[in-house]
Chain A
């Protein structure tokens, strides 16, 4: 099983700041099968990024994804109020696993 590790567990930032979230895989993951989701309390997750760097339909361009192999990054260029949430990475190339999540909260 491919284990995904996310860091940090919590990221405390202010509005307008840049957020950098890391996802590390225990084995190589094809960039084609790495996604990022945003989840707010009481809601289903929302697909942000797929294929490591492709924004899903309707996702603002302040969200960007990058990386390859075992190291992937989600960047939010300037935090807006609606961006404070939990973010999960997800690989779907070898069975499917999710990372434990990074909570982005207001400093």
Chain B
């Protein structure tokens, strides 16, 4: 009963380093999302994938790239990390429009 699984849970990066956050869901959902949450704020959409093979920008896409590897997996890549990208990152998935969205447990990223 895994649901949405994100890795890693915690990561510290130096400015300029790159890394990839991995997300996988086992619910056969069509749509997947990456959000970031800064302290004391709501969740802002970075990128989403409405269906396998498609990706679209959200509110705050700059500095990120995504890959919808297959129906299960949606990765988020930081090519050159900046301190402004210090945040908690949440992956989510949903069967389709008009259905319940499910979230992973979050990935805490610090860029120093």
Q: Please indicate whether A and B come from the same complex rather than being unrelated chains.
A: no
Chain A residues with CB under 8 Å of chain B are: none
